[in-house]
Structure 1
């Protein structure tokens, strides 16, 4: 009696039609803006015979974009009819447009963050300059009677110091908030990808178990 060996786990092979379905979902959900959308795209496209997760959907999309940018039309056109190729080409142009738009936004955000950091450093520098007396001021203070320093100047100095410190804390809190948001989104994406991989593996095990059961029933 021939032994039944479970088939090795294989990655889903994309046809032209599969690529078109994938690219349609990408244009609708725009996972370049929200990375968690890759998980949803994988779930929408995955079937009992075509199992993919968010990571596989993202990798396939990136591969198609890379091939398209290199103008490797033969790789894109080697299978499928001309109508399918034309639709895939059109969808890829839309997807690349979405990706480049998000890249521009990300670059702008990075530039804004860099500007905030520079502004924070400038504020700190000005604060130090304000709070650190110069040599001329030291000499003047040494010969000026202490009573000549008015209470108004002291209050003004303390108020300015307080405002500078509050501005610095405000900017630091905003930068920390943005960093925490980024870390939270990254954690959720990785968690969802792990969960989806586990679901796919569980489905594959169930399919193998069902195959063995049917073989056993025949015997």
Structure 2
């Protein structure tokens, strides 16, 4: 029931929908198990994440053992769809991160160019001063 509810509302696109998932799941729990306690948003989200982690690890193990995809139960099909939804919703975040990284790198490049144009002027002055000092000391030794 929980996986179906998460699939129907897709809280990975909008994080506020986890509240709706939890409230709808609580309603379904009262119908099927009236004596159970209500769950909160955090526990629903953590449970779904735990199910996905376990599913991914079991999926990798079964592929290693059999070498091919096996028939899935309804639960495994729901988890596969949830994994796909979660991965798709995280792709735009990755693009935004790379966009900010590109801006940061271009800012560093601009700064580097600015310092390169100022650098040789300051280096020449300091190198001339050092040459003068070394020449004057050199004259005393002769």
TM-score (norm 2): 0.60
Residue 33 of structure 1, CA deviation: 2.4
CA distance in 1, matches of 2:75, 2:90: 22
Aligned residues: 104
Which residue is 1:97 aligned to? 84
Q: CA offset at residue 133 of structure 1? A: 7.4
Structure 2 residue corresponding to 1:53, chosen from 40, 45, 70: 40
Residue in 2 aligned with 1:190?
A: none
Alignment of 1:4-83 (within 5 A): 21-47=1-27, 48=30, 49=34, 50=36, 51-71=38-58
Deviation above 3 Å: which 4+ runs of structure 1?
47-50, 127-130
Give 5+ residue unaligned stretches, structure 2: 60-71, 126-142
What is the TM-score when the length of structure 1 is the normalising length? Answer: 0.41
Residues 71, 134 of structure 1: CA spacing in aligned structure 2 closer, same or farther, 3 A cutoff?
Answer: closer
CA distance in 2 between counterparts of 1:40 and 1:117 reads 38
Within a 5 Å distance, the mapping from 1:30-179 to structure 2 comes to 30-47=10-27, 48=30, 49=34, 50=36, 51-71=38-58, 86-130=73-117, 132=118, 134-135=120-121
Shift of 1:34: 2.0
| Gap change, CA 1:106 and 1:133, over 3 Å in 2 | closer
Q: C-alpha separation between the residues in 2 aligned to 1:133 and 1:58?
A: 54
- Alpha-carbon shift at residue 129 of structure 1 (Å): 4.1
Q: C-alpha root-mean-square deviation of aligned residues, in Å?
A: 2.6
Q: How far has the Cα of 1:29 moved from its partner? A: 2.1
Counterpart secondary structure, 2:12: coil
